[in-house]
A and B are shown apart, each in its own frame.
Chain A
Amino acid sequence: NAGVTQTPKFQVLKTGQSMTLQCAQDMNHEYMSWYRQDPGMGLRLIHYSVGAGITDQGEVPNGYNVSRSTTEDFPLRLLSAAPSQTSVYFCASNSRQTDGYTFGSGTRLTVV
């Protein structure tokens, strides 16, 4: 049972490039979320999903797109990378809104 899997673990992008951060969970959880964590700070919510086909914005959604075509996958797309998007990105899932979250191990992204 792998839990929440994020790929890649590390990525360097040039300003203006686009890319997709992958997140997959094998626990059949309905709910999934994306967070970013800047150095020395807490996590900030980017987008979340309450089920396949349903997504909503969090605290810092600008510059990111998400979609949820399957229960298992919740990719995060950076449309045009900027240095301000340099951060560690965490994906999380939970089975019910009242339950605790399971987090992935993160993707460390650097935009130069």
Chain B
Amino acid sequence: DAKTTQPNSMESNEEEPVHLPCNHSTISGTDYIHWYRQLPSQGPEYVIHGLTSNVNNRMASLAIAEDRKSSTLILHRATLRDAAVYYCILKDGWSNDMRFGAGTRLTVKP
């Protein structure tokens, strides 16, 4: 399985942008890049996903490197409610076998 590497933790100030990095040097052509987040005592929440092009939705933006070996999740204006563990996952588009890593714990300071 293609794996991802994320920092264990990051800090951000409230109302500032946050850039969460993810490295995936062994990504294959059919792997989608998914991002989920998990707030304390809750189930994971889908954030965004993409294949090759940058993606935007109401929650965040996903910037994918041209060689697809890395990506960045961008929260445009962090709030205290964005404090969570963020998971970057590679998922083959032909499979429903999606495996989580340890993720990045984001702390947002007021």
Q: Give A contacts to B, CB under 8 Å.
A: 31, 33, 35, 41-45, 48-50, 56, 58-59, 90, 92, 94, 97-106
Contacts and interface: CB of A to CB of B under 8 A. Distances in A.
Given A98-B32, A100-B34, A100-B49, A43 B97 contact: no
Interface in B19-50: 32, 34, 36, 42-46, 48-49
Please name the 10 residue pairs, one residue from A and one from B, whose CB atoms are nearest each other, closest first. A100-B46, A103-B43, A42-B100, A43-B100, A98-B93, A31-B96, A103-B44, A48-B96, A90-B43, A106-B43
Given A44-B99, A45-B99, A98-B32, A105 B93 contact: no
Contacts of A98: 32, 51, 93
Contacts of A101: 36, 44, 46, 98
Contacts of A43: 44, 100
Given A45-B97, A103-B43, A105-B42, 10 more contacts: A42-B102, A44-B100, A48-B96, A94-B96, A98-B32, A100-B36, A101-B46, A103-B46, A104-B43, A105-B43
Contacts of B97: 45, 48, 56, 58
Main secondary structure of the interface of B (DSSP, over half): loop
Contacts, number: 56
Given A33-B96, A97-B93, A97-B96, A42 B101 contact: yes
19 contacts: A31-B96, A33-B96, A42-B101, A42-B102, A42-B103, A44-B99, A45-B99, A58-B99, A59-B99, A90-B43, A90-B44, A94-B96, A98-B93, A99-B49, A100-B36, A100-B48, A103-B44, A104-B43, A105-B42
Nearest to B46: A100
Nearest to B48: A100
Contacts of A31: 96
Contacts of B102: 41-42
